[in-house]
Structure formats: structure tokens, C-alpha cells
């Protein structure tokens, strides 16, 4: 670790000790950030995997046009603008989730294809039995979400291992 030439031996020792702790802290922050990202990517995976077993009702797509908004640097990504209504136990609900993996932007052509796949009219709606406001019109596992989760967990694990190794290797009291 670099030490500034104008430091006393005590300052240099303390500076190196601090740098080692700071590096371990950076890896710990990376690990925690990856865990948050993995959670954001995977917290709906149980619902995603079980959604094909949820009860269904007949709903109606009330909006299926263009895209909600265009994103991406070249405006080549979008989110489909699909809205549907359905009724469970005489209570009306409104849904916007086509599938569990469609919260982020997707290629513009894919968004347009999805809009054409769900035109205004009748549609089958899967809803969560204990929370009917959670619904989708397309069920099943989504490989991209599972991949995001696994990559986030792998990076978090690696960062935790490095932080632990640095802490153990450089363990020692402050000067």
C-alpha cells in the first residue's frame, strides 16, 4: 500500500491500517448492493413460479396501445401500455402487469408484439388467491429474472468472501 513520504512511521502504519479496512468495507458495500439487487430481481420469483396454479377469471383488456414510455439512449426500448380489469368476489380490480418480468424496458419491437398479442377485449386473468389485486395475464417462469437473481447472488457471495478474507488476513488492532 502506498505511503506518503512526509508521514511519520506511526502515521504510515495507521494510514496502511486504514486503507486495508477501507478496502474490506468497499467489498462489503458491493456485496450488500448485490444482495439488494438480487432481492429486487428475485422477490417475485415464488409468485412467478406458482402463478400458473392461481385461479383465473375472465377479464377485459381496456387499453392496449403503443407504449407507456420509451426509454434507452436511442429510444429503442419501451414498456407496453396494457391495462386490464377483472372482478373477484364482486370486487373490481385493475391490472397493468402482463407478466412478472415486464416491469423494466424491453426492445421496442417486443413491446409492440406484446401489445398486438393482447388487443382490447376479453382476456384470461390469473390472480393470487390471498391477494386478488396481484394479477397477470401471462404466467410461467421467466429465465431472465432467475438469471439476474443468480448473478446478483454470485457477485454478492464473491464480494463477501473477499471482504472476509481481507478482514481475516489483515486482522490486527489499530496502531
CA–CA–CA angle 156, 160, 161 (5° rounding): 120
Query: Domain map of the chain by residue range?
Result: 1-53+141-175, 55-138
pTM of whole model > 0.85? no
pLDDT band at 21 (very low <50, low <70, confident <90, very high): confident
Q: What percentage of the chain carries pLDDT values higher than 90?
A: 21
Q: What are the tens digits of pLDDT across the range 126-155?
A: 999 999 998 989 886 555 556 767 787 888
Residue 117 has pLDDT above 80, yes or no: yes
Name the residue among 5, 6, 24 with its Cα closest to residue 170: 24
Burial class from Cβ neighbours inside 10 Å (0-12, 13-18, 19+) for residue 91 reads exposed
Please, are residues 141 and 53 in contact by the beta-carbon 8 Å criterion? no
Q: What is the mean pLDDT of residues 46-75?
A: 78
Amino acid at each position: 500500500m502506498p505511503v506518503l513520504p512526509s508521514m511519520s512511521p506511526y502515521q504510515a502504519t495507521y494510514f496502511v491500517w486504514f486503507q486495508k479496512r477501507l478496502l474490506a468495507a468497499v467489498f462489503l458495500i458491493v456485496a450488500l448492493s448485490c444482495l439488494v439487487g438480487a432481492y429486487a430481481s428475485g422477490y417475485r420469483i415464488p409468485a412467478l413460479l406458482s402463478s400458473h396454479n392461481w385461479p383465473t377469471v375472465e377479464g377485459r383488456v381496456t387499453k392496449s396501445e403503443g407504449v407507456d414510455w420509451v426509454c434507452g439512449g436511442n429510444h429503442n426500448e419501451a414498456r407496453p401500455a396494457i391495462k386490464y380489469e377483472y372482478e373477484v368476489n364482486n370486487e373490481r380490480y385493475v391490472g397493468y402487469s402482463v407478466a412478472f418480468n415486464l416491469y423494466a424496458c424491453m426492445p421496442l419491437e417486443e413491446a409492440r408484439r406484446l401489445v398486438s398479442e393482447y388487443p382490447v377485449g376479453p382476456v384470461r386473468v390469473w390472480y393470487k388467491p390471498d391477494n386478488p389485486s396481484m394479477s397477470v395475464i401471462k404466467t410461467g417462469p421467466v429465465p431472465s429474472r432467475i438469471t439476474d437473481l443468480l448473478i446478483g447472488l454470485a457477485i454478492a457471495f464473491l464480494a463477501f468472501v473477499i471482504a472476509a478474507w481481507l478482514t481475516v488476513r489483515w486482522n490486527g488492532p489499530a496502531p
